[in-house]
């Protein structure tokens, strides 16, 4: 799931996954962080899910994927569209 909070000068995009699927550490990697692993790691939330929030310029489009432990790259139904194996979203 992707949650958005629109601010005056940006959009805060929160990437949300279940706490245990997949197991282990998971990060979101995309063009907004130069595809660098470890920059945006999901952390536990009180609701039992895990999430990370990324501030993006308003009215921008981005590609992303998730990277889990064991070099497991994946995308799930959280994207608005697909760009090959990458998800696409609009901030």
Q: Confidence class of residue 76 from pLDDT cuts 50, 70 and 90? A: confident
Is the pLDDT at 80 greater than 90? The verdict is no
Predicted structure pTM score:
0.88
Q: What is the pLDDT of residues 43-65, one digit of tens each?
A: 999 999 999 999 999 889 999 99
**Residues of the chain with pLDDT > 70: what percent?**
91
Domains and their CATH numbers in the chain: 2-90 (2.60.40.10)
Q: Confidence class of residue 91 from pLDDT cuts 50, 70 and 90? A: confident
- Rg of the chain on CA atoms, in Å: 12
Strands 11-18 and 49-56 come out as antiparallel
Q: SS3 helix, strand, coil % of the chain, rounded to 5?
A: 5, 55, 45
Q: CA nearest 78: which of 24, 29, 14, 32?
A: 14
The tokens for 25 are: 């550490």
């Amino acid at each position: 799931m992707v949650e958005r909070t629109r601010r005056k000068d940006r959009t805060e995009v929160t990437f949300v996954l279940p706490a245990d699927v997949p197991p282990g550490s998971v990060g979101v990697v995309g063009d907004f962080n130069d595809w660098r692993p470890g920059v945006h790691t999901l952390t536990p939330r009180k609701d039992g899910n895990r999430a990370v929030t990324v501030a993006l310029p308003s009215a921008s489009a981005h590609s992303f994927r998730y990277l889990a432990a064991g070099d497991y790259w994946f995308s799930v139904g959280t994207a608005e569209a697909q760009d090959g194996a990458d998800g696409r979203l609009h901030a």
